[in-house]
Amino acid sequence: MNDYTSIPSSGGCRDLPVLKERGQREVFCGLTGIIWLHRKMQDAFFLVVGSRTCAHLLQSAAGVMIFAEPRFGTAILEEKDLAGLADAQEELDREVDQLLSRRPDIRQLFLVGSCPSEVIKLDLARAAERLTQIHAPHVRVLNYSGSGIETTFTEGEDACLASMVPGLAETRERELLIVGALPDVVEDQALGLLNDLGIDRVRTLPARRADDAPEVGPNTVFALTQPFLGETHAALTRRGARHIQAPFPFGEEGTTAWLRAVADEFDVSAETFERVTAAPRARARKAIAAQAAELNGKSVFFFPDSQLELPLARFLTRECGMDAIEVGAPFIHKGLVGPDMDLIAPGPVISEGQDVDLQLDRARAARPDLTVCGLGLANPLEAEGLATKWAIELVFTPVHFYEQAGDLAGLFSRPLRRRERLRLEAAE
Amino acid sequence: MKLTVWTYEGPPHVGAMRVATGMKGLHYVLHAPQGDTYADLLFTMIERRDHRPPVSYTTFQARDLGADTAHLFKDACRDAYDRFQPEAIIVGASCTAELIQDDPGGLAETMGLPVPVIPLELPSYQRKENFGCDETFFQIVKHLTRPQELTQRITANLLGPTGLGFRHRDDIQEITAILGDLGIDVNVVAPMGATPADITRLPAAHFNVLMYPETGEAAARWLERNHDQPYTKIVPIGVGATRDFIAEVRAITGVEGQVDDSRLRLPWYSKSVDSTYLTGKRVFLFGDATHVKAAARIARDEMGFEVAGLGCYNREFARDIRALAKEFGVEPLITDDYLDVEKAIEAAQPEMILGTQMERHIGKRLGIPCAVISAPVHVQDFPARYSPQMGWEGANVIFDTWVHPLVMGLEEHLLHMFRDDFEFHDAAGPSHHGGHAPRPMDASERDEAPATPVVQTDGSIVWLADAEKELRKIPFFVRGKARRNTELYAADKGVSEISVDTLYEAKAHYAR
């Protein structure tokens, strides 16, 4: 009955050669994750220690400025900070004091490293330790790097979550930990499904508030909801927790496979699994079918962006009937996306890293029906007649699990539908 | 170190990108880590450009730092030349690359590329975006211009418009039309739309129109010194400024052509009786110095507003703004700290803000209408329709833009008259703004004023219940002013309790 996890007869593309490129990359840095992380963790503040460029990126990255009282800011390095480093630590203490006195609601403060702070080797770990001592127990100060010389886009979330793991309390309980920042509504759906399966000791990382932080230990098993959480995976493994491998919960098939892997871990009976998932699976299939009519038989080309590319290619090729021409990812962590790769039939070029001009040449030659790419490339490619989907929307929009499966397909079908709909020429 | 929540200007290399992206046939090789490529989306998304900015980023990573980042830069330079075949290349570093001191200019020079290579020194930790535009354009002009015969007909260059500029696209068209009426042709518009070859022939024009001092002044000064090209000092935003600009151009060139102003509607719209309600509206101005200077004159002389405060975020023009503030009898606000601007606006309690996209959000929070007069830009600042700020049509556009956020003419009086109507009260908002259905007043808003006196924050002056109730009868858009004036008056007179009488005494005191 498990035909949805059947590996293509040809064996998937996990072990096929990968095109590795090293050239100009057209991607965001890890600071970008702050845009969604600060909304997810409601008592956290993200203080980037960086340059004016970092501040400018944060206010531009979402495409619009987010002016709801931001829980992030940039401590902009100035000439005098670059001259002497001892000074920079003092300056940081002062800025943090000011910030925390203005925002008494803040319980977790992340000092976020940037390209300039990494290059001048500003020791933010030391600063975090010192500031934690000063501001404990009310505020916990952590640090991670979101710098563009070390992290690509979603790796910022990975670095952030990984930085929280060593500080999590120890537990011997057998608990399930769901890892990855999901919109609350999606997270609640997932917790509801797991609860219905009879798995009731479930925690999430990140928690919405500092007081709800999960515990971790040798009896913890964890499932990732995002494919870019390699460092967090390693940090949890170091704490003795065990990873449940599965395809990622995108689409009906991905969600079912993900839930199935978790259910098997907790010895949930086949009957229970069927009873709990049958209705949402049917809904998801129906919702996808409504969108897939427009996607069926169309070709898709992924530029590297969020590391979601391989799981999404699996979804689009298997559940929406699309043909993948190239699936580019900034990094391919086979320990995490391997199960998704097993399900992708051989055929597409799988590429890792980027040389954007060469990749653009390939996309222009292939003329895909849909190109998934970053905001910097989308309008230029549209102007060349290629339909595009901005990749960043896939990270900002609720797309996981059954109830969002149709929305996920809709993100890809809408650009195609729009092109069909517009009539901008003379009538004849 | 300085804590920043929002920034008015990007880093200087973004300024250089604005010049490069505005031009054609120029390529920018930028030594920068991968994250800096976010800047492309400013142009492709905010400005809806249909081409990638002509920028190659070296996108070095941490692992390259121990090895040879200089080599990466040279490879990127060569690849960029081979692929894009530009007429000229500008090279520079972003904030991170500045720290690793690879000297992109020196490296590029040794490569023997067959086109001019112009090195940029843009100190990222001291300067900002506008400086980046100004300096980049200046360096390009300095490197590429060659002595030229003056054109036979009288011609001008238009200097300053860039990519991602506030209404630059349409201002060019407006100024070109005005010059055309005067009998003056445009030689070159730069940086916007110019190729390096066009830059070479800048000195063929008889004079320069400096459209935006923020982005073009260094080049204009250099051309004046080295090629005897005078440049215009008046920025033609507003009716008076446009007339002065025309006079200035006539004085420089001796032309006597007439400019057709039959399309100009601001003066009549401002005189027509419906505009009476604009009289003395207190406005707060904030933006780049050029637009604030122009807006101050329009606000006072052409709209009949009262300027309640003004300032700019670009320190380079602090002196001009201080002089302007003195002329208007207000304190100048020179800051790029968004929170300072918010504080100043809160203190001034204007009836309208003329600011940037950032002030729109301040206005939203404080409940003050806001119109946008200046960069930093937002996707809304690139409207599909023709929408200049300069010249006659610019004046028309400004009239409409500034009036739109306000409660209009007769509606203001109706609001006053029927302020207790459950659908037509303060919180209902102007009727021409959609998006919020009239919310019925809840009981607390409609009911009697609080029985106990309201203690003011400083504790020294107390509003008696009757006075508070009376104050609430004053329309919301002048209530803040009435409250403030009354409190000032009470403080002045040593009155610690404000009664209905105090309120009306204050009103009489401030009446003109």
> Which carries the bigger pLDDT value, residue B467 or residue A1?
B467
Q: What is the mean pLDDT of chain A?
A: 93
Question: Between A and B, how many CB-CB pairs are < 8 A?
Answer: 183
| Two tokens, residue B144 | 């590429």
Phi-psi region of A321 (alpha: psi -120 to 50; beta: other; left: phi over 0): left
Asked if B45 and A63 come within 8 Å (Cβ–Cβ), the reply is yes
Instruction: Characterize the bridge pairing of strands B26-31 and B88-93.
Output: parallel
pLDDT digits (tens, 9 = 90+) for B1-15: 888 888 999 999 999
Give me the pLDDT at residue B413, please.
Answer: 59
How far apart CA B167 and CA A205 sit, in angstroms, is: 46
Cis peptide before B388 (omega within 30 of 0): no
Instruction: Find the mean pLDDT for residues B201-210.
Output: 98
Asked if B34 and A383 come within 8 Å (Cβ–Cβ), the reply is no
Contact B58, B36 (CB under 8 A): no
Burial of residue A421 (number of CB atoms within 10 Å: 0-12, 13-18, 19+): exposed
CB-CB neighbors (< 8 A) of A94 in chain B: 1
Give me the pLDDT at residue A4, please.
Answer: 46
Which of B6, B38, B56 shows the shortest C-beta gap to A57? Answer: B38
Q: State residue A320 phi and psi, 5-degree precision.
A: -120, 0
> Which carries the bigger pLDDT value, residue A353 or residue B422?
A353
Residue B1 within any structural domain of the chain: no
Q: Which residues pair with A59 in a beta bridge?
A: none
How far apart CA B286 and CA B29 sit, in angstroms, is: 34
Residue B139 within any structural domain of the chain: no
pLDDT of B62 over the 60 cut: yes
Residue B471 within any structural domain of the chain: yes
Which of A74, A79, A82 shows the shortest C-beta gap to B4? Answer: A74
Amino acid at the residue B453: P
Among B194, B223, B253, which residue terminates a domain?
Answer: B253
Give me the pLDDT at residue A85, please.
Answer: 61
Taking CA atoms, B190 is separated from B23, B130, B136, B172, in Å, by 7, 16, 12, 10
pTM of the prediction? Answer: 0.90
| Two tokens, residue B151 | 């054109």
Give me the pLDDT at residue A280, please.
Answer: 97
pLDDT of A367 over the 50 cut: yes
Asked if B76 and A29 come within 8 Å (Cβ–Cβ), the reply is no
Residues 116-175 of A with CB under 8 A from B: 116, 118-120, 147-150, 152
Residue B192 within any structural domain of the chain: yes
B246/B281 same-domain check? no
How far apart CA A303 and CA A22 sit, in angstroms, is: 14
Give me the pLDDT at residue A323, please.
Answer: 97
B237/B319 same-domain check? no
Architecture of the A12-25+288-427 domain: 3-Layer(aba) Sandwich (3.40)
Domain that holds residue B106: 12-128
Taking CA atoms, B396 is separated from A1, B176, B264, B265, in Å, by 70, 17, 7, 6
Burial of residue B484 (number of CB atoms within 10 Å: 0-12, 13-18, 19+): middle
pLDDT of A425 over the 90 cut: no
B226/B280 same-domain check? no
Instruction: Find the mean pLDDT for residues B75-102.
Output: 95
Closest CA to B292 of B243, B354, B362, B339: B354
Q: Which residues pair with B155 in a beta bridge?
A: B185
pLDDT digits (tens, 9 = 90+) for A42-79: 899 999 999 999 999 998 876 555 555 678 999 999 88
Architecture of the A30-151 domain: 3-Layer(aba) Sandwich (3.40)
pLDDT of B72 over the 50 cut: yes
Q: State residue B455 phi and psi, 5-degree precision.
A: -85, 130
Give me the pLDDT at residue A133, please.
Answer: 94
pLDDT digits (tens, 9 = 90+) for B368-387: 999 999 999 988 899 999 99
B277/B348 same-domain check? yes
Among B232, B253, B274, which residue terminates a domain?
Answer: B253
B280/B394 same-domain check? yes
Give me the pLDDT at residue B449, please.
Answer: 40
pLDDT digits (tens, 9 = 90+) for B262-311: 999 999 999 999 898 899 999 999 999 999 999 999 999 999 999 999 99
B385/B274 same-domain check? yes
Burial of residue B307 (number of CB atoms within 10 Å: 0-12, 13-18, 19+): buried
How far apart CA A250 and CA A373 sit, in angstroms, is: 19
Contact A21, A362 (CB under 8 A): no
Among B128, B160, B176, which residue terminates a domain?
Answer: B128
A22 CA: distance to closest CA in chain B (Å) = 10
pLDDT digits (tens, 9 = 90+) for B432-480: 665 544 444 444 444 444 444 444 455 578 888 888 888 887 766 677 7
Give me the pLDDT at residue B431, please.
Answer: 59
Give me the pLDDT at residue A8, please.
Answer: 62
Question: CATH 3.40.50.1980 residue ranges in chain A?
Answer: 12-25+288-427, 30-151, 175-273
Which of A29, A52, A383 shows the shortest C-beta gap to B51? Answer: A383
Instruction: Find the mean pLDDT for residues B205-217.
Output: 98
pLDDT digits (tens, 9 = 90+) for A26-47: 999 999 999 899 889 989 999 9
Suggest the residue from A21, A53, A358 to mutate for an interface test with chain B (most B CBs closer than 10 A): A53
Q: State residue A46 phi and psi, 5-degree precision.
A: -110, 115
Superfamily of the domain at A175-273: Nitrogenase molybdenum iron protein domain (3.40.50.1980)
Domain at B241, CATH number: 3.40.50.1980
Residues 87-106 of A with CB under 8 A from B: 88, 91-92, 94-95, 98-99
Cis peptide before B350 (omega within 30 of 0): no
Asked if B41 and A81 come within 8 Å (Cβ–Cβ), the reply is no
How far apart CA B206 and CA B229 sit, in angstroms, is: 6
Domain at B474, CATH number: 1.10.8.550
B298/B407 same-domain check? yes
| Two tokens, residue B373 | 């007069």
B240: CB partners within 8 A, 6+ apart: B297, B298, B301, B302
* Helix B289-297 / helix B318-328 crossing angle, nearest 10 deg: 20
A313 CA: distance to closest CA in chain B (Å) = 24
pLDDT digits (tens, 9 = 90+) for A143-196: 999 999 999 999 999 999 999 999 999 999 999 999 999 999 999 999 999 999
Residue linked to tokens 């060019």: B172
Looking at this predicted complex, what is its ipTM? 0.93
What does the DSSP 8-state code read for residue A169? Answer: P
> Which carries the bigger pLDDT value, residue B209 or residue A91?
B209
Give me the pLDDT at residue B446, please.
Answer: 43
Instruction: Find the mean pLDDT for residues B401-425.
Output: 66
Asked if B1 and A49 come within 8 Å (Cβ–Cβ), the reply is yes
Give me the pLDDT at residue B365, please.
Answer: 83
- Rounded to the nearest 5 degrees, what angle is found at the Cα of B397, between the Cα atoms of B395 and B402? 95
User: Is any Cβ of chain B less than 8 angstroms from the Cβ of A363?
Assistant: no
3-state secondary structure of B406: coil
Q: How many domains does chain B have?
A: 4
Which of A73, A91, A148 shows the shortest C-beta gap to B36? Answer: A148
Residue A336 half-sphere exposure, CB side, CA atoms within 13 Å?
25
3-state secondary structure of B376: coil
B279/B394 same-domain check? yes
pLDDT of A378 over the 90 cut: yes
What does the DSSP 8-state code read for residue A219? Answer: T
- Of B89-93, B431-435, B496-500, give the range with the top mean pLDDT: B89-93
Give me the pLDDT at residue A311, please.
Answer: 98
User: Is any Cβ of chain B less than 8 angstroms from the Cβ of A68?
Assistant: no
The confidence band for B124, taking pLDDT boundaries of 50, 70 and 90, is very high
Q: Which of the residue ranges A62-66, A132-136, A200-204, A303-307 would you say has the lowest mean pLDDT?
A: A62-66
Give me the pLDDT at residue B432, please.
Answer: 60
B237/B272 same-domain check? no
Contact B44, A382 (CB under 8 A): no
B383/B312 same-domain check? yes
Asked if A73 and B56 come within 8 Å (Cβ–Cβ), the reply is no
Taking CA atoms, A204 is separated from A14, A167, A245, A317, in Å, by 29, 15, 17, 30
pLDDT digits (tens, 9 = 90+) for A316-344: 999 999 999 999 999 999 999 999 999 99
What is the side-by-side strand order in the sheet with A242-243? A202-205, A176-179, A221-224, A242-243
B267 CA: distance to closest CA in chain A (Å) = 36
B283/B401 same-domain check? yes
Burial of residue B150 (number of CB atoms within 10 Å: 0-12, 13-18, 19+): middle
Phi-psi region of A333 (alpha: psi -120 to 50; beta: other; left: phi over 0): beta
Q: What is the mean pLDDT of chain B?
A: 90
Instruction: Find the mean pLDDT for residues B91-110.
Output: 93
Instruction: Find the mean pLDDT for residues B333-344.
Output: 94
Instruction: Find the mean pLDDT for residues B346-356.
Output: 94
Instruction: Find the mean pLDDT for residues A118-135.
Output: 94
Contact A121, A127 (CB under 8 A): no
Q: Catalytic positions of B, please?
A: 274
Residue B440 within any structural domain of the chain: no
Residues 329-358 of A with CB under 8 A from B: 357
Residue B436 within any structural domain of the chain: no
One DSSP character per residue, A75-132 reads EE--HHHHH-HHHHHHHHHHHHHHHHHH-TT--EEEEEE-HHHHHTT--HHHHHHHHH
B236/B99 same-domain check? no
